[in-house]
Amino acid sequence: MIKIDTKMLPKGMQIHFFNQKYDRDLEVEFPPEVWKNFPFKEIWAQNMAYLATVELALMFKEKEVKYNFPFPLFKSFFDELFMKSFTYSGDVDCEQSFRYIKDLINLNSQFNEKLVPANFTAPAVKEKSINTLTFGKESLLSLGLARKSV
């Protein structure tokens, strides 16, 4: 079994990964001004911890992962992302992609509580948007268009 803990830090977050072979910490830090104004820190940290660690369970051929946080808001999105990337992963590892898919479906992920929706209201803002960037072709095109319009 793998255990995953998260901890909020003054400038970011820490992910603690523990199983029989490894006991490691990963810290994600931001410039202080960015982190100070970063909204929904805990929700972001929980989702990033899931995204950063679900593949480790498959790497270590573990059947169970125990997280110390609630069910991540974007878990189904991340799981779909992994499913779509397994074809490439299988080719690179000289494994069968189907094995990765089967292992993810059979992975027993335990969370310490059910999903708790965030209670917030977003202020109305004129002519602004939030755009996620993956730094793929479409994202770079969006970034270029946004910079050009400013």
Give pLDDT tens digits for 55-90.
888 888 889 999 999 998 888 888 888 887 777 665
Mean pLDDT within 97-121: 76
Q: What average pLDDT does the structure give for the chain?
A: 81
The torsion angle over the Cα atoms of residues 96, 98, 99 and 104, rounded to 10 degrees, is 140
Is the whole-model pTM more than 0.85? Answer: no
Residue 63: strand, helix, or coil = coil
Q: State which amino acid sits at residue 76.
A: S
Name which of 75, 55, 57 is nearest 66 in CA terms.
Answer: 57
Q: Report domain extents, the chain.
A: 2-120
